């Protein structure tokens, strides 16, 4: 318990301290590396699975500046992996680069996407006590909407974790009025995994000022710190 309290305190300091974030940015740039010390997958009985959405043949949404969502998702997830390492957690990643090794029979983009989505769900389901966090960026037809939003799966623990993460995200965007919401039935992966699962739409790449922030490494680090903080609080 004491250890967990110390972790919480340390992480709270990490999130609110600009100097701490700046130090992290320096530590993380340019390419996040694995923590030097021995880490463990398991904390609070869970194995953290970080899922940077899209990748490979699927770039996801395209931002107003032309950046692919898949790259932003990966940057945030890699930063979250490193920050998690500072707290003794070594997440399982559903992908670690923009390249994916598709099977030969996955020829069309649709077939590649189907294979990849099922692969990710199977990975999460193959782990005992997985805790799944999917990282995405939102897009809308108008430039107006902004703010991060956390969606939760219909599995035990998901809604509570989403509420915690949604409130923690106020640390990076205090004016955000989005609410944690149940994931729509149409999102395959979130409806085919059995563990606690949240999908974080970190912001809107269709909103010019927000897209600029989402593409900024220091903002990506702040988001990553919040995601890890929300995870640690959810499982402690």
Query: Which residues in this chain contact Zn ion in the complex, by CB under 5 A?
Result: 53, 60, 136
CB closer to Zn ion out of 53 and 71 = 53
Tell me if 89 sits within 8 A of 48, measured CB to CB. yes
Q: Please tell me whether residue 198 adopts helix, strand or coil conformation.
A: strand
CB closer to Zn ion out of 55 and 60 = 60
Q: Please tell me whether residue 193 adopts helix, strand or coil conformation.
A: coil
DSSP 62: B
All residues at 6 or more sequence positions from 173 whose CB lies less than 8 Å from its CB, including other chains: 146, 147, 148, 203
Q: How far is the CB of 45 from Zn ion (least distance, A)?
A: 29
Q: How far is the CB of 228 from Zn ion (least distance, A)?
A: 20
Q: In the beta sheet, which residues pair with residue 6?
A: none
CB closer to Zn ion out of 53 and 196 = 53
CB closer to Zn ion out of 56 and 60 = 60
Q: How far is the CB of 103 from Zn ion (least distance, A)?
A: 22
DSSP 89: B
Closest among 15, 69, 2, 30 to 231, alpha carbons compared: 15
Tell me if 87 sits within 8 A of 38, measured CB to CB. no
Q: How far is the CB of 65 from Zn ion (least distance, A)?
A: 17
Q: How far is the CB of 85 from Zn ion (least distance, A)?
A: 25
CB closer to Zn ion out of 52 and 230 = 52
- Give counts: helices (H), strands (E), the chain: 7, 7
Q: How far apart are CA 234 and CA 236, in angstroms?
A: 6
Q: How far is the CB of 89 from Zn ion (least distance, A)?
A: 24
CB closer to Zn ion out of 60 and 147 = 60
């Amino acid at each position: 318990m004491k250890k967990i309290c110390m972790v919480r305190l340390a992480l709270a300091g990490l999130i609110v301290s600009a100097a701490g974030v700046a130090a992290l940015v320096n530590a993380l740039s340019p390419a996040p590396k694995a923590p030097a010390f021995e880490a463990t997958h398991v904390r609070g009985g869970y194995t953290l699975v970080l899922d940077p959405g899209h990748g490979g043949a699927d770039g996801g949404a395209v931002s107003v500046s032309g950046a692919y969502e898949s790259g932003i998702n990966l940057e945030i997830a890699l930063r979250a992996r490193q920050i998690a390492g500072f707290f003794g957690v070594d997440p399982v990643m559903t992908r670690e680069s923009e390249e994916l090794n598709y099977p030969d029979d996955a020829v069309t983009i649709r077939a590649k996407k189907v294979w990849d989505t099922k692969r990710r769900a199977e990975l999460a389901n193959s782990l005992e006590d997985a805790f799944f966090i999917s990282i995405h960026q939102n897009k809308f037809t108008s430039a107006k909407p902004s703010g991060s939003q956390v969606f939760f799966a219909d599995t035990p623990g998901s809604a509570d974790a989403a509420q915690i993460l949604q409130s923690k995200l106020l640390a990076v965007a205090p004016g955000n009025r989005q609410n944690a919401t149940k994931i729509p039935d149409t999102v395959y992966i979130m409806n085919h995994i059995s563990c606690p699962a949240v999908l974080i739409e970190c912001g809107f790449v269709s909103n010019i000022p927000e897209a600029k922030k989402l593409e900024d490494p220091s903002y990506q680090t702040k988001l990553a710190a919040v995601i890890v903080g929300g995870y640690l609080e959810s499982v402690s």
